Structure 1
Amino acid sequence: MRKLDRPTLRAIFPLLISLALVAKAAATPAYPLKPSANGRYLVDRSNVPFLIIGDAPHSILANLNNEDATRYLTNRGSNGFNALWIELLCDSYTRGAGTEGSPNYGRDVNGNNPFTSTLPGGYYDLTMPNPAYWSHVDYIVQTAAANGLQCVFTPLDQGGWTQTSLRNGTNRCYQYGQFLGDRYKNSPNIIWNLGNDFQNWRKQQNDAVILAIADGIESVDTNHLMTIELNSMVSESQDDPNWISRITANGVYTYYPTYDETLVAYNKPNIMPVLFLEEHYEYENVGGEFGTPNVLRRQEYWSLTSGALAGHMYGNHYTWTFTSGWHYLRTTGVKQYFKNFFSSRNWYNLSTWTFTSGWQSHLQTTGMRELMYFKSFFSSRKWYNLIPDQSHTLLTAGYGTYTPGGNVSDSDYATAAKTPDGTLAVVYTPVRHTLTIALNNFSSRVTTRWYDPTANTFMAIPGSPFPNIGTHNFTTPGNNSRGDPDWVLLLQAQGGGGTPTPTATAQPTLAATATPTATPTSTPTATPTATPTSTPSATPIPTATPRVTPP
């Protein structure tokens, strides 16, 4: 190739820079987000449908200096994430410094306390912010924005800062909310997520102080989405009726099969986008169930096909604690879990090998890679028009048993969703099933394919496309590329349902091309039927709490 001379390079260099800036601007999402016109999904500032795919670096302010934070944020942006759940105040509950009331609790990685004054008992005065601490927060916001990432901020974590909020009372909490709202009202890449393990929301005094923070934020910032995470092991934001008029997205939190609580949220009469906030994290053990890639896939596909059209927040033990992992073996139940797991397989020398390195070695994980396959699969289709098939008019038989509780890995239930125009349907089955599909739901002949959620590949189905009449049985084609039995059945009417509206974010740096592979046999055998149990409704405490007004 002929080398360009220096004058030519000087002439075209400004043009190249301009083109690069234009390309970056075109790829940058138009934040902030807002609910769609029908209230079912999110759109950006240009009204383009947007699918949140988030990580949960809860303790980033406490544990990562600017250099490490930049490395992490750059990695997450380049791999396709577009949101990060961050605790604005982080003590030992979320792997930060100290416990509330102790000296210097909640200080950041640079040694800055979040506030400059304390109340009797050693609890921070929330009306006295420390500029140095909040400058560190500003850096995270700005660096996240440069990487196309939204900061999903929890103002006052209720797992670790409960007494701080109560000692401050509603007036100081309101002023703290005003401070946050005023500081970040013009930062487009913000979502407010209050609560976090809010076990005491049913107590009026506990609810009132967090409501006051929300009211303080909204008194000066109406630009950003707001939601709240209530209690574990299962909840959704509208369980607490006091929040219905304040939030713009319904956040789901469950460690049980995710389709159940997602449907509870989706079916609420006050319609708003359902965002799946928290579930089993990768590499963690909650209630005796480990966050394996298989468990993570079930959570993700079940939730979206059950109505969580706003998106899905993922978590990884290493990238929420930013620790080496060795201390995790001291967590209740985890040491015994690994002892049993490895000894039963005679892998005695491997029982702690995955914990020898830190968070830097756990960025490109199987769970993250498969989450990006999930994002690619749905964002290249009109996911935002999908409606859960709750009455089984699409998937009429072979869906297994609906279980509202129990372990994620024990459920065999297949979920389905379809668009009202009859052009697209998606079925996720966690186990081997023969799925009976009513093809008369579609507007024309139906092209069907199996999608492997562990490899991002498609598999042709003999006989496809099928006429849009009657029913047809589709039997899962054995195990996927990871040796697990879960598959996605994609059904598209010819001439429709395939026009993508991709979420405007950077694409993941992984090879994920969907190519036809071996063709399985569609087995037209009888399909066992199952009747799902009724979806339990949440039990809110209807204590009306008025909005706090400025003191």
Structure 2
Amino acid sequence: MADVDALDGQKPQRRNRSLAIALAVGIVVVLGGGLVASRLSPPEQDLSIPPGADPAPDLQPPAAAAGSPAAAVGPPFVTAVSENGRYFVDQYGQPVAVRGDSPWSLMTDLAPGEVETYLANRADHGVNSLIVSLIGAVANGGPADDGSTFDGIAPFVDGDLVTWNEAYFDRAHDYLQMAADRGMTVFLYPIDGWTVDHAVVPESIGQCAEYGQKVGERFADLANLVWMTGGDYFPITNEPADGSDVDHCFDAMLRGIRAAGSTAPFSIQLGYEKSVSTDNPYWARRVDWNFAYSYYPTYRAVLDAYGWSPAVPAVFGEGNFERENNQADSPPTTNETLRRQVLWALTSGAAGEFYGSDDWEFQDGWAGRLDTDAVRQISDLRDLFAGLRWWDLVPDEDSALVTAGRGEQVRDDTPMDVLDSDYVTAARTPDGTLAVVYVPTARTITLDLGRLDPAVSATWIDPASGTAHPVAVASSLRPPGTNDDGDEDWLLLLSTSQVPG
């Protein structure tokens, strides 16, 4: 969702590129309460709890559920983590892949009828997950930094975090229920990195916990929530393992939600240009799954997230959005960029992924931009994987399956546009009955067929059209040519089962 500062008359985007300048300055000032304010981080993410303020209450919350889904009623939602830690399960105990979109400012920018328009469209495209901020700020796409909606409904009375304007939270509940009715899990940010020190100004860590408990109680009847915090979040502290005041507030909020009885999974979104939740030592022991965030070639962040031990689900939570590119001096985001993000993620161990567009803040005319070629292509690719045993796929990190022709893998955080990497990613099931290989540019790849069941058949899938091109199984294979968009990326499916669709 990040973007450069406003250019050519466009309004400023939520993720301000002035941070890149701040990152180069590095003047650090130590504040009270162990917090370090710095021009290395966005000033709106600073929070200094007054000395002597009440600490968080001694809450004894239930742990997040793992392999213990909620009551089996209604459409399937993300409700728990699988027993092996690799993916999410729904309330029926079945694997559920995240097929997401990122309408960050839905709560504050849209009227009820507009929410219904958006949700109906996304349901038609198979979207089952949404990223949404509960409280608005100008930087997360909302109309005002006090959290007010487009029609002037503020969340808090006189800015008091725990004195609520019931009309705001009644509407929020209605919107979340509308998403539930459409079968959508909402990855909800009760506090994010843009509302801190704006709409959210707690007087104590204890007040953060009280707010979290109120959130948990207000939405306790909804089965379609996953808890999030952070968001372009750069913790400001000299001791990352100990956490900053903002970290402590986020954590107290979660403990309040847990005290209200919620066992829904939780994670944090850290900062760009690349991060995974477990990068931060304070949060690594607190998150239930890894939010992989990257504007660079997607597989690197997802493989890093997948490699965390003990295993937790890795989800590609954010990268380049349609009609945005957050890499200076890089080419525009294309359909191929978006396809690569999805397919690199799903062949690198991801339990799902989120798409996003420049309309995360619902700019004028957004409803006319809901149906694009990119949205259709992503929907088709998600449908393809839905017909596979995607939850059993293991990344081919040791090149046991694809032994040659892989290209050059990005192994560090060197800045690079998505389209500048040519690396082939692959994953297969341990029994060898299924493998998927994503080939981003034209070349011949070499396969070790001994890693596969002898009964597998081979099919090239055009990721732009979804068209299947069966071929004879061989140890050396090359994509058929350019795909329907005139690009060179293809997906190879090796399976003992019929091709989905």
Q: 1 CA distance for matches of 2:73 and 2:468?
A: 27
Deviation at 1:152, TM superposition (A): 1.2
Aligned to 1:355: none
Alignment partner of 1:445 is 2:455: yes
Aligned to 1:261: 301
Residue from 207, 210, 234 that aligns with 1:175: 210
Alignment partner of 1:71 is 2:124: no
Deviation at 1:254, TM superposition (A): 0.8
Amino acid at match of 2:322: E
Aligned to 2:353: 312
- Show CA shifts across 1:492-515 (max 9, x none): 1x3xx5597xxxxxxxxxxxxx5x
Aligned to 1:189: 224
Alignment partner of 1:455 is 2:477: no
Residue from 235, 255, 278 that aligns with 1:238: 278
Alignment partner of 1:434 is 2:444: yes
- Show CA shifts across 1:132-177 (max 9, x none): 0001101101111111111111111203424555643311111111
Deviation at 1:440, TM superposition (A): 0.3
Q: After the TM superposition, which residues 270-419 of structure 1 pair with which residues of structure 2 at under 5 Å, given as runs? A: 270-288=310-328, 289=330, 290-308=332-350, 310-318=351-359, 320-324=360-364, 358-403=365-410, 404=412, 405=414, 406-419=416-429
Q: 2 CA distance for matches of 1:45 and 1:149?
A: 13
Report the secondary structure of 2:381's partner residue. Answer: helix
- TM-score scaled to structure 2, two decimals? 0.81
Aligned to 1:423: 433
Q: CA contact under 8 A between 1:185 and 1:223: conserved in structure 2? A: no
Q: 2 CA distance for matches of 1:445 and 1:362?
A: 44
Q: 2 CA distance for matches of 1:499 and 1:411?
A: 28
Alignment partner of 1:228 is 2:268: yes
- Show CA shifts across 1:239-296 (max 9, x none): 1233334322111111111111111111111211111111100011202343211101
Amino acid at match of 2:482: N
Residue 182 to residue 160, structure 1, CA distance change in 2 (3 Å): closer
Q: CA contact under 8 A between 2:274 and 2:301: conserved in structure 1? A: yes
Deviation at 1:474, TM superposition (A): 0.6
Q: Which has the higher helix share?
A: 1
Deviation at 1:47, TM superposition (A): 1.4
Deviation at 1:444, TM superposition (A): 1.9
Q: CA contact under 8 A between 1:55 and 1:81: conserved in structure 2? A: yes
Amino acid at match of 2:367: Q
Q: 1 CA distance for matches of 2:198 and 2:116?
A: 33
Q: CA contact under 8 A between 2:302 and 2:314: conserved in structure 1? A: yes
Q: 1 CA distance for matches of 2:390 and 2:181?
A: 27
Q: 2 CA distance for matches of 1:446 and 1:54?
A: 31
Amino acid at match of 1:487: W
Residue from 454, 476, 479 that aligns with 2:479: 476
- TM-score scaled to structure 1, two decimals? 0.73
- Show CA shifts across 1:72-115 (max 9, x none): 1111112210011111111110121233xxxxx21013311000
Aligned to 2:153: 112
Amino acid at match of 2:376: R
Aligned to 2:61: none
Report the secondary structure of 2:459's partner residue. Answer: strand
Report the secondary structure of 2:253's partner residue. Answer: helix
Aligned to 1:43: 89
Q: CA contact under 8 A between 1:158 and 1:196: conserved in structure 2? A: yes
Deviation at 1:206, TM superposition (A): 2.1
Residue 297 to residue 28, structure 1, CA distance change in 2 (3 Å): farther
Q: 1 CA distance for matches of 2:374 and 2:143?
A: 29
Aligned to 1:33: 79
Q: CA contact under 8 A between 1:434 and 1:476: conserved in structure 2? A: yes
Q: CA contact under 8 A between 1:418 and 1:425: conserved in structure 2? A: yes
Residue from 53, 57, 66 that aligns with 2:99: 53
Q: 1 CA distance for matches of 2:191 and 2:307?
A: 29
Report the secondary structure of 2:233's partner residue. Answer: coil
- Show CA shifts across 1:369-425 (max 9, x none): 111111111110101100000000000000100124311110000100010011000
Q: 1 CA distance for matches of 2:286 and 2:428?
A: 30
Q: CA contact under 8 A between 1:166 and 1:206: conserved in structure 2? A: no
Residue from 86, 89, 106 that aligns with 2:135: 89
Deviation at 1:475, TM superposition (A): 1.0
Q: 2 CA distance for matches of 1:456 and 1:28?
A: 31
What stretches of structure 1 of length at least 5 have no aligned partner? 1-25, 100-104, 118-123, 325-357, 467-471, 501-513, 515-551
RMSD between superposed Cα atoms in Å: 1.9
Residue from 187, 195, 213 that aligns with 1:152: 187
Aligned to 2:493: 490
Q: CA contact under 8 A between 1:177 and 1:217: conserved in structure 2? A: yes
Amino acid at match of 1:369: R
What stretches of structure 2 of length at least 5 have no aligned partner? 1-71
Q: Which has the larger radius of gyration?
A: 1
Q: 1 CA distance for matches of 2:81 and 2:369?
A: 33
Amino acid at match of 2:393: L
Report the secondary structure of 2:205's partner residue. Answer: helix
Q: 2 CA distance for matches of 1:239 and 1:166?
A: 26
Q: CA contact under 8 A between 2:73 and 2:91: conserved in structure 1? A: no
Residue from 149, 163, 166 that aligns with 1:131: 166
Deviation at 1:195, TM superposition (A): 0.7
Q: 2 CA distance for matches of 1:114 and 1:152?
A: 19
Count of matched residue positions in the alignment of Structure 1 and Structure 2 = 420
Q: 2 CA distance for matches of 1:83 and 1:221?
A: 22
Deviation at 1:237, TM superposition (A): 0.9
Residue from 131, 144, 149 that aligns with 1:98: 144
Amino acid at match of 2:476: N
Residue 315 to residue 450, structure 1, CA distance change in 2 (3 Å): same
Deviation at 1:489, TM superposition (A): 0.7
Q: CA contact under 8 A between 2:76 and 2:183: conserved in structure 1? A: no
Residue 135 to residue 110, structure 1, CA distance change in 2 (3 Å): farther
Amino acid at match of 2:419: S
Q: CA contact under 8 A between 1:61 and 1:109: conserved in structure 2? A: no
Residue 410 to residue 157, structure 1, CA distance change in 2 (3 Å): same
Q: 2 CA distance for matches of 1:55 and 1:266?
A: 21
Q: CA contact under 8 A between 1:197 and 1:232: conserved in structure 2? A: yes
Q: CA contact under 8 A between 1:282 and 1:291: conserved in structure 2? A: yes
Deviation at 1:215, TM superposition (A): 1.3
